[in-house]
Amino acid sequence: MIGGKNSVCVNCGHRVRELYKKYSNTLKTTNCEKCHQVTDKYIEFEEFIILIDALLLDSSAFRHIIYNGDFKLYWKVSLVVLLLESFALCRQKLSDPANDALNVHEKGFYTYTLHHIGDYLLITFFLLLITAALGIDQIKKVGVRNFTLTIIKVVVISNLSKFFLLPILVWRNNTTVFGRSIHYALVMSHHICSLVLAYEAVGYIKSRLRWLAITLVVLAFVLKEYIRHYAAFQLELH
């Protein structure tokens, strides 16, 4: 199913009644009443193309995925990314001479998976708090349930950036520690940009507060990373 009562124009975020009109066996896209552009060009695209545009940080793709598209595929993709990220961390720990391989095996892949699920929940919680503080009127309009679901979708989409961890898994032995660190830093930079742009695309924060919202999203990410590293340190101690 494409679209629904919460559908929006992917260009400007304006709420629309319909994304297309159906004539016999053909679909005709509608134009947005506000920006006068095609409401959602992605209804005619394959999901793989939409995913590529999201990885290229296209705000229109983010709006389509969050509001107009079938999100089931992206839940599945997010699960794959979660497992990939957990496998990457587990392999990194195993290859580090400073770590006890037996101890890493005991904690295992599933421990790291739970660790990353906690990351997802933590950043979602921080984004919910930020939006509640800055855009309480918007939350009242859309309802708490829709608001929470939208923020969860933002987090899920931003985590698609972790797909870029795949090259370092494949060619890990052909690079240096410094090279792996640079690769990881680039992936995390893309992830932060994706998180900011996806959050901005949902339009809960007023335009005049945009830079404040972006700053707070970045701070939420930094705080989440601090808590994650602290928890990982405590876990290794025990």
pLDDT at 3 (0 to 100): 55
User: What tens-digit pLDDT sequence spans the chain (238 residues)?
Assistant: 455 567 899 998 888 888 888 777 777 888 999 998 999 999 888 888 998 999 999 999 999 999 988 888 888 888 888 888 777 777 766 665 555 544 545 466 777 788 888 888 888 888 888 888 776 677 777 788 888 888 999 998 998 888 888 787 777 777 787 888 888 889 889 988 898 888 888 877 766 667 877 787 888 888 888 887 777 666 565 5
pLDDT at residue number 107: 60
Give this prediction's pTM: 0.83
234 residue type, one letter: Q
pLDDT given at position 73: 80
Instruction: Tell me if 88 sits within 8 A of 168, measured CB to CB.
Output: yes
Task: Give the Cα separation of 152 and 84 in Å (integer).
Answer: 19
Q: Say if CB 165 and CB 80 are below 8 A apart.
A: no
Structure tokens at 205: 């924060």
CA dist., res. 3 & res. 16, Å (int)? 10
Per-residue pLDDT tens for 143-160?
888 888 889 999 989 988
Nearest CA to 211 among 150, 134, 126, 155?
134
